Amino acid sequence: MRRSQVDAERFQPEQLLRSHVAALASYTPIHPFEVLSRELNLPVERIVKLDANENPYGPSPAVVEALAEYSYYHIYPDPQQTDLREALSGYIGVDAAQILPTHGADEMLDYLCRIVLDPGDAAINCPPTFGMYSFDAELNGATVIDVPRDDDFGVDVDAVEATADGGRAKLLFLTSPNNPSGNWLPDEQLRRLLALPLLVVLDEAYVEFADHSSRAVWVTGHENLVVVRTFSKAAGIAGLRLGYAACPAWLMPHLWKFKQPYNVNVAATVAGLASLNHIDDMAYVVGKIRAERVRLFALLHTVNYLRPWPSEANFVLCAVRGRNAAQLKADLAAQGVLVRHYNKPGLENCIRVSVGRPDQTDRLMEALRSLE
Ligand SMILES: Cc1ncc(COP(=O)(O)O)c(C=O)c1O
């Protein structure tokens, strides 16, 4: 049978694209574990993966058991996520009616941009910080206004206030503890920022590791605050993709209209519920990671070419002195130790090391010392 051919002169497929999408820079994917193992010619067990702030202990045995025992994987998930929202309400102290679970915190960040930002609107970003805020805002045709952090990675509140006064910005992204610096956004600063006529998105992906408490409950008193959380870090199920947000009541009907009915899959739901039903297991693992962070920080301090920053999260950012951080990352990778490298404004010649198990810290230290 002859296939009809589209007229090649008249049809230029790329012209179908929305112009801001065509203009976007390409995404650089990370290499999956198995690919790295092949590239480095090392078995997966020999790789010390400290480059993505994952939880080295994974989910608790109770979660693994709940996943193994569940027998309704052939049935669609509950689009209203009733049980999960109830359990989350008990965990974070916010009414279930103001909580929305998502396919990772990343999905919530994208939803918020898509719900609020028209092409031409602006979002305020405070770099150096998590890369998805600017990615999602730009994906939605918005302009990202960067208000750089100070030398200690604090938010420049005066500059954010001055920028917000310009009127074009609708969203403000904040992160506490911040990724990749690990510092906390103090209450007084958050209060000042919440006085701005913007939707403030406070990303608390790492809050369980912090020395301070979550501000999720603040959503009841602040109409312009959304607090985004995740099961990827403390609960150790990054691969299952489960996040959620505590939102002001007025936003919820719009999120319900907007969200994909089955955005959270059944396995993530089962694992999330089991994590919340065994919260002591999660607290135990968080305690181990916090203790290891103290040890890791002290050890990194003893490496003559590193300057670590104190962190309230499950990672430590280090300035690299007198040598090239990209080369250091490559040299560590050659020994099977993976860390994240940065070289951009505010993060010149840096590496970020996730907090692993004690044996992983030992492998990292061995590799760092071999390069002294
Ligand atoms: C600050 C921050 N927010 C959100 C995320 C993504 O969370 P999730 O895995 O739930 O999409 C990350 C992941 O590294 C992060 O660092």
Report whether pLDDT(17) > 60.
Answer: yes
State the distance from the centre of ligand 1 to the C-alpha of 196, rounded, in angstroms. 25
Q: Where do the DSSP E strands lie in the chain?
A: 48-50, 99-102, 122-125, 143-146, 169-175, 199-203, 225-230, 243-246, 306-308, 315-320, 337-344, 347-354
Residue 231 CA: nearest ligand 1 atom is 10
Strands 315-320 and 347-354, bridge-based pairing: antiparallel
pLDDT one-digit tens code per residue, 28-53 = 777 787 888 888 888 988 899 999 99
State the distance from the centre of ligand 1 to the C-alpha of 230, rounded, in angstroms. 7
Q: What is the pLDDT of residue 3?
A: 60
State the distance from the centre of ligand 1 to the C-alpha of 301, rounded, in angstroms. 27
Nearest alpha carbon to residue 212 among 221, 202, 220: 202
Report whether pLDDT(140) > 60.
Answer: yes
SS3 category, 183: coil
| Pocket-testing residue among 130, 242, 275, 352, ligand 1, by greatest number of atoms within 8 A of Cβ | 130
In this structure, of 69-73, 153-157, 166-170, 222-226, the range with the lowest mean pLDDT score is 166-170
Cα(357)–Cα(343) distance, rounded to whole angstroms? 27
Q: What is the pLDDT of residue 189?
A: 98
Q: What is the pLDDT of residue 18?
A: 86
DSSP bridge partners of 99: 246
pLDDT one-digit tens code per residue, 271-288 = 999 999 999 999 999 999
Q: What is the pLDDT of residue 8?
A: 75
State the distance from the centre of ligand 1 to the C-alpha of 154, rounded, in angstroms. 20
Nearest alpha carbon to residue 293 among 316, 274, 275: 316
- Please state whether 153 falls in left (phi above 0), alpha (psi between -120 and 50) or beta: left
Residues contacting residue 290 through CB under 8 Å, at least 6 positions apart: 209
> For atom 3 of ligand 1, which residue has the closest CA?
205
Report whether pLDDT(270) > 90.
Answer: yes
| Pocket-testing residue among 178, 202, 232, ligand 1, by greatest number of atoms within 8 A of Cβ | 232
Residue with tokens 């801001």: 20
Percent of the chain with pLDDT strictly greater than 90: 85
7: its two tokens: 């007229």
Residue 129 CA: nearest ligand 1 atom is 1
**Do 128 and 153 form a contact (C-beta atoms < 8 A)?**
yes
State the distance from the centre of ligand 1 to the C-alpha of 108, rounded, in angstroms. 10
DSSP bridge partners of 292: none
Ligand 1 pocket, CB under 6 A: 53, 104-106, 130, 175, 179, 203, 205, 230, 232, 238, 243
Secondary structure letter of residue 261 according to DSSP? T
Q: What is the pLDDT of residue 21?
A: 83
Residue 107 CA: nearest ligand 1 atom is 11
State the distance from the centre of ligand 1 to the C-alpha of 208, rounded, in angstroms. 13
Nearest alpha carbon to residue 281 among 6, 16, 34, 59: 59
Report whether pLDDT(2) > 80.
Answer: no
Report whether pLDDT(258) > 80.
Answer: yes
Q: What is the pLDDT of residue 205?
A: 98
Structural domains of the chain sorted by starting position, each given as residue range(s) with its CATH number in brackets: 31-56+281-370 (3.90.1150.10), 61-277 (3.40.640.10)
Alpha-carbon distances, residue 356 vs 16, 37, 316 (angstroms): 46, 18, 11
Residues contacting residue 351 through CB under 8 Å, at least 6 positions apart: 306, 317, 318, 320, 325, 328, 329, 339, 340, 341, 342
pLDDT one-digit tens code per residue, 303-336 = 999 999 999 999 999 999 999 999 999 999 999 9
